[in-house]
């Protein structure tokens, strides 16, 4: 770089920025290290391993069209959910929120419980 264009200090700006960033990084690391030591374990001995927010188990119910089932979240004490059937003009009631539909082989489909009309 031309010496006349350098400026008064002669220090490029990038070096100054880098040192500021490094100082900030060091301070942040020190704060995180201190807070990491003070955190207590949140688990209780002998407590449940299953989380409250685990996804609900899914069950399938037989629909009016042969070979098709509806996937429903099984929620205890859930009020029935009414959904419009894609295969007939009626709406059906199932014991939880509908998550989708599935095509099945006949032998598996016959074993499923039928939706309430």
The pTM of this model reads 0.51
**Dihedral of alpha carbons 44, 48, 49, 50, sign:** negative
3-state SS, 39-106, equals: CCCCCCCCCCCCCCCCCCCEEEEECCCCCEEEEEECCCCCCCEEEECCCCCCEEEECCCEEEEEECCH
pLDDT for the residue 32:
64
Read off φ and ψ for residue 8, nearest 5 degrees. -75, -45
Per-residue pLDDT at 46: 57
The pLDDT score that the predictor gives to residue 70 is 93
pLDDT < 70 regions, the chain: 1-20, 22-23, 28-52
Give the pLDDT confidence of 87-111 residue by residue, as tens digits: 999 899 888 889 999 999 999 999 9
- pLDDT recorded at residue 55: 80
**Given this model, what pLDDT does residue 44 score?**
62
- Supply the pLDDT for residue 34: 59
Indicate if the alpha-carbon torsion angle 110, 58, 82, 88 is positive or negative. Answer: negative
pLDDT at 80: 82
Q: Cα separation of 73 and 76, whole Å?
A: 10
């Amino acid at each position: 770089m031309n010496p006349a264009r350098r400026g008064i200090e002669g220090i490029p700006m990038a070096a100054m920025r880098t040192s500021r960033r490094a100082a900030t990084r060091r301070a942040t690391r020190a704060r995180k290290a201190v807070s990491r030591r003070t955190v207590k374990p949140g688990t209780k001995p002998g407590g449940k391993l299953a989380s409250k927010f685990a996804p609900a188990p899914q069950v399938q119910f037989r629909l009016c069209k042969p070979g098709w089932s509806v996937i429903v979240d099984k929620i205890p004490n859930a009020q029935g959910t009414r959904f419009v059937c894609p295969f007939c003009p009626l709406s059906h009631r199932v014991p939880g929120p509908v998550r989708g539909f599935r095509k099945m082989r006949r032998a598996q489909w016959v074993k499923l419980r039928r939706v309430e009309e």
